[in-house]
């Protein structure tokens, strides 16, 4: 999977009047700091993406008036009309510091200083990292990024514990129970979710089902759901619809050739609400051929399932409440390192 990476190529075209000492004691005004440091002050402004589009390939001319004491005053900015960009440049210009004033025949004079800057176009580059670059990417921390834009696509693995309660007819036969689930899902560019579900539940028996069998019914009934997931992320939470194959063990099975045991079979549609809470910070890594972000989450869930079994007394609604660990991988759409 190829990822478009963003690099701002800060090649500056800087035209300035450099102070040069002459034999007759004349020199032009110049900043006390290096001219490259002066230019980098303006290139370090954190412009928004929209502002950078306006600055693409723009040549800006900053005109300073330098008084006899070397105090600079930004007089005018040519090349851009956007008020927000102009305000940022003016604020940054208050930090340029002192100048060495112009000297003519040994006497300080007021003068003019020009600074020209060029902001090159933003480039999107398709990159396939080699194995060495991949290993380096694993060492990058989140703090090392100057800019990062996550993609919607990625994958999640959820492993957790459940508590479940039947309602209606099944509630007369089974008590409050517990279980566990494993979800493996993929999220596409439009935040739609596709995946697989495996859930198991253990409920103590209240009383026996009405069955034509001489076998003793199990004291704890094991219910399992295996199926597919379809859902969507809505910001920080998601809603999943499930379609599962369902089974419930009622009597003991002695071996693989045992034909006399009882197991209810059927299907189970359901809906589950998930809300993850991130634990710590995201970690950059190279995952399945693409720069990605890994996060660890505590996942809270609430779900409702309808169990349609081959036995009417076991068929009905089951509610579940879950607490799980969610490991999330998300792709990186664009990034720039500091």
> What is the DSSP annotation of 254-289?
-STT--S--EEEEEEEEEEEEEEEEEEEEEEEEETT
User: Looking at the domain that runs over 151-337, which CATH code has it been given?
Assistant: 2.40.160
Lowest average pLDDT, out of 13-17, 101-105, 157-161, 242-246, goes to 13-17
Distance CA 16, CA 294 (A): 47
Q: Of the ranges 30-39, 123-132, 170-179, which is most confident? A: 170-179
Instruction: Pick the closest to residue 94 from 115, 118, 64, 74 (CA basis).
Output: 74
Longest CA pairwise span in the chain (Å): 120
Question: Are 30 and 98 a contacting pair, CB within 8 Å?
Answer: no
Distance CA 296, CA 263 (A): 38
pTM of the model: 0.61
Say if residue 231 is exposed, middle or buried (CB neighbours under 10 Å; 0-12, 13-18, 19+).
buried
pLDDT number for residue 283: 87
Lowest average pLDDT, out of 6-10, 62-66, 205-209, 297-301, goes to 6-10
Say if residue 243 is exposed, middle or buried (CB neighbours under 10 Å; 0-12, 13-18, 19+).
middle
How many of the other CB atoms lie within 10 Å of CB of 206? 13
Say if residue 163 is exposed, middle or buried (CB neighbours under 10 Å; 0-12, 13-18, 19+).
middle
The pLDDT confidence band at residue 268, using thresholds 50, 70 and 90, is very high
Question: Are 306 and 270 a contacting pair, CB within 8 Å?
Answer: yes
The pLDDT confidence band at residue 92, using thresholds 50, 70 and 90, is confident
The pLDDT confidence band at residue 55, using thresholds 50, 70 and 90, is confident
Averaged confidence pLDDT in the chain:
84
- Strands, E, within 111-262: which ranges? 111-119, 123-127, 145-166, 174-187, 192-205, 217-234, 237-251
Mean pLDDT value across residues 288-304: 89
Q: DSSP labels for 295-307?
A: EEEEEEEEEEEEE
Domain boundaries, the chain: 3-124, 151-337
Give yes or no for residue 274 having a pLDDT over 60.
yes
Which structure tokens are listed for 237? 């939470």
Mean pLDDT value across residues 57-85: 87
Give yes or no for residue 132 having a pLDDT over 80.
no
């Amino acid at each position: 999977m190829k990822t478009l990476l963003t690099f701002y190529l800060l090649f500056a075209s800087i035209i300035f009047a450099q102070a040069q000492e002459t034999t007759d004691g004349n020199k032009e005004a110049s900043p006390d700091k290096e001219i490259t440091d002066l230019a980098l002050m303006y290139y370090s402004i954190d412009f928004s993406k929209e502002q950078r589009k306006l600055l693409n390939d723009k040549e800006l001319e900053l005109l300073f008036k330098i008084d006899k004491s070397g105090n600079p005053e930004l007089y005018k900015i040519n090349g851009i009309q956007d008020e927000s960009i102009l305000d940022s440049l003016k604020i940054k210009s208050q930090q340029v510091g002192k100048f060495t004033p112009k000297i003519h025949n040994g006497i300080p004079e007021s003068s003019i200083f020009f600074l020209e800057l060029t902001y090159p176009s933003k480039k999107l580059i398709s990159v396939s990292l080699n194995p060495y670059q991949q290993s380096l990417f694993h060492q990058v921390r989140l703090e090392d990024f100057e800019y990062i834009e996550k993609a919607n696509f990625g994958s999640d693995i959820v492993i957790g514990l459940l508590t479940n309660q039947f309602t209606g007819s099944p509630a007369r036969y089974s008590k409050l129970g517990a279980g566990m689930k494993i979800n493996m899902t993929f999220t596409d560019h439009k935040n739609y979710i596709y995946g697989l579900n495996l859930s198991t539940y253990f409920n103590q028996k209240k009383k026996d089902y009405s069955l034509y069998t001489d076998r003793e019914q199990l004291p704890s009934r094991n219910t399992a759901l295996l199926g597919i997931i379809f859902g969507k992320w809505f910001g920080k939470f998601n809603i999943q619809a499930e379609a599962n194959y369902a089974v419930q063990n009622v009597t003991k099975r002695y071996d693989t050739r045992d034909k006399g045991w009882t197991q209810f079979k059927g299907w189970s549609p359901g809906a589950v609400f998930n809300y993850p809470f991130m634990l710590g910070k995201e970690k950059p890594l190279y995952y399945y051929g693409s720069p990605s972000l890994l996060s660890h989450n505590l996942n809270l869930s609430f779900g409702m399932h309808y169990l349609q079994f081959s036995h009417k007394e076991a068929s009905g609604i089951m509610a579940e409440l879950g607490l799980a660990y969610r490991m999330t991988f998300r792709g990186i759409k664009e990034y720039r390192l500091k």
